[in-house]
Amino acid sequence: MAFESMTDDRIDSLLKTPKRIINPAARMVPDANHDRQDYVVQSVDGSENFKVFARQNKTVNDDFSCGLMWVSPGGESMILTRYNGSSHEHPNKIEKNKISYDCHIHLATERYIKANMRPESFATKTDAYKTCEGALHSLVTEWNITGIETKPDHPEFRFDELERKLD
């Protein structure tokens, strides 16, 4: 299935669809640089399949990504959204702006699909989380995903204050 026919309305519908993680005890799988956890997700009505992933760099705390991926009936997958850490700059190529070393949320858009770029290339800065655990909590809370226990980052925790204390 080609994703060229995906519209912003269809993407929005997939994101808002009530979803449930069906393997909440998914194991953390290590590789050379990251620890990764993958969850199988299904819409509550059983009509759509998804995956949720959480990936954390083993040596760089602010290098992480949590995302929601839609799996088409043909088996192809498309990332609908990703919640990234602040370890890198992110350019929004169409808008010609940059997010500089801040946590940011990627969102699939029709505009980027039509420009033949990765669907989720557009991103916005966020202060909703500072850690991988907080990003996963924000993701499942925002996009109507149940079946897993998550914790938000502590409201009093501020990564920039921690860095100042270490200086």
Look at residue 4 in the predicted model and tell me its pLDDT.
77
pLDDT top residue among 154 and 69: 69
Query: What pLDDT band is residue 134 in, cutting at 50, 70 and 90?
Result: very high
Look at residue 11 in the predicted model and tell me its pLDDT.
96
Look at residue 154 in the predicted model and tell me its pLDDT.
67
Helix (H, G, I), strand (E, B) or coil at 140: helix
Helix (H, G, I), strand (E, B) or coil at 13: helix
- As a whole number of angstroms, the distance between CA 116 and CA 100 comes to 24
Q: What is the pLDDT of residues 114-125, one digit of tens each?
A: 999 999 999 999
Residue 114 CB contacts under 8 Å (≥ 6 apart), including other chains: 4
Mean pLDDT, the chain, integer: 91
Helix (H, G, I), strand (E, B) or coil at 164: helix
In the predicted model, is pLDDT for residue 148 greater than 50? Answer: yes
Look at residue 164 in the predicted model and tell me its pLDDT.
47
Can you point out the beta strands (E) in the chain? 19-21, 28-30, 34-43, 49-57, 64-71, 77-84, 90-92, 97-99, 104-107, 122-125, 145-146
In the predicted model, is pLDDT for residue 159 greater than 70? Answer: no
Q: Is residue 108 exposed (0-12), middle (13-18) or buried (19+ Cβ within 10 Å)? A: buried
In the predicted model, is pLDDT for residue 31 greater than 90? Answer: no
Q: Are residues 106 and 143 in contact, defined by beta-carbon separation less than 8 angstroms?
A: no
Look at residue 155 in the predicted model and tell me its pLDDT.
59
Mean pLDDT over residues 51-69, rounded? 96
pLDDT top residue among 162 and 86: 86
Lowest mean pLDDT among 1-15, 130-144, 147-161: 147-161
Residue 36 CB contacts under 8 Å (≥ 6 apart), including other chains: 28, 29, 30, 53, 54, 55, 56
Q: Are residues 121 and 103 in contact, defined by beta-carbon separation less than 8 angstroms?
A: no
